[in-house]
Structure 1
């Protein structure tokens, strides 16, 4: 996948508003592979909804979202399985970590689908992000910031054309945010991938091609 094209896309819940001032909603907007985008948003402007639409588990919107030339509403379940396995990776705002599993087991749920990362590479991510001692600890016993780093590692353990990060550093200090930015840059360059980051406050420092206001 080389581009994600939004054509007059708008959450249905916003349809009765007299006007919507946004660089994303109700616009003709293209996200291109190999480029980085920051979407700045206030609460309630549809930030997480946008991620949900593009990832395909909500379709309560007007307008069109295309992956290359394909309207995503035409994608079958089989299509979405392959897209989420090899083209789209998501770090959700609410993380979606399985609390009864260890940190490493949470990563393996994703990584075993493609075998994209070797165990030593995953361990290196844990070490780099300062949670090497949490590898075999159940996620329920981790702080939110530690879980956030686990979810981030999971997002890197698959092939992707586009990486979505929904408020990825909301509970991280500046040093871990800097490290995360370096890892994103490295992985995105390796795969020639696009990166889309959302933020309602502080954000990862990356060489963004475009900053959009939601």
Structure 2
């Protein structure tokens, strides 16, 4: 599914972005299925705002965001739910885990959203082993470290179907070694599904073979 942004400007940032050159804001850009896109986003330029807009969590913007040729503003609630279950998965910067559920239960909530589930439950254990968080799967998420929570959030995003993976600073709490393992898992899953991703971060990196590098 193609993603199109047309003259997109977040209203709260309109004045701040007016004099700034951007590859995203106030221009037309199209992301084609399968692209691996890095968006370098200095602090205060709307990185999280963009991610939340793409996921239809906010609509305080001028311009248009379209998924599959249809404006997000015209998506009915049931269509939005289907988009999030089948087409787009997300890794939030603040993780958004349920603190009183175990790490496994947080992942399982996403895995069983579709019928039948995209993956068997055993895949959770395999991914957790790869990212070295198997030992916290049955622990309440709120008791896990930020690095453990971030890896759990990554696994949660990968166990559902998707054509696009949207990531907001997905490795911000991980050291170089763990970030590398997480990036390898993400690349494997995206390659397997011929899926694209949009990743926002503050700095340059070499985690992926990006097809495009843009400046927010």
- TM-score (ref. length: structure 1): 0.96
Change (3 A) 1:13 1:61: same
Equivalent-residue separation in structure 2 for 1:202 and 1:154 (angstroms) = 25
Query: Which residue is equivalent to 1:185?
Result: 187
Where does structure 2 lack aligned partners over 5 or more consecutive residues? none
Superposed CA deviations along residues 56-93 of structure 1, whole A, max 9, x for unmatched, are: 01000000111121111000000001000000100000
Query: Which residue is equivalent to 1:174?
Result: 176
**Secondary structure, counterpart of 2:199 in structure 1:** strand
Deviation of residue 112 (structure 1)? 1.0
- TM-score (ref. length: structure 2): 0.95
Query: Which residue is equivalent to 2:2?
Result: 3
Query: Which residue is equivalent to 1:69?
Result: 69
Superposed CA deviations along residues 96-136 of structure 1, whole A, max 9, x for unmatched, are: 00100000000011111121121211100000001111110
Number of equivalenced pairs:
213
Matched, 1:133 2:135: yes
Deviation of residue 204 (structure 1)? 5.8
Query: Which residue is equivalent to 1:104?
Result: 104
Equivalent-residue separation in structure 2 for 1:42 and 1:16 (angstroms) = 17
Superposed CA deviations along residues 132-190 of structure 1, whole A, max 9, x for unmatched, are: 11110111110000000000000001110100110001110111111111111111111
Equivalent-residue separation in structure 2 for 1:98 and 1:69 (angstroms) = 34
Equivalent-residue separation in structure 2 for 1:105 and 1:57 (angstroms) = 23
Equivalent-residue separation in structure 2 for 1:93 and 1:193 (angstroms) = 21
Deviation of residue 20 (structure 1)? 2.7
Query: Which residue is equivalent to 2:79?
Result: 79
Where does structure 1 lack aligned partners over 5 or more consecutive residues? none
Equivalent-residue separation in structure 2 for 1:187 and 1:136 (angstroms) = 24
**Secondary structure, counterpart of 1:13 in structure 2:** helix
Equivalent-residue separation in structure 2 for 1:203 and 1:130 (angstroms) = 22
Change (3 A) 1:43 1:149: same
What RMSD over aligned residues (CA atoms) do the two structures have, in Å?
1.2
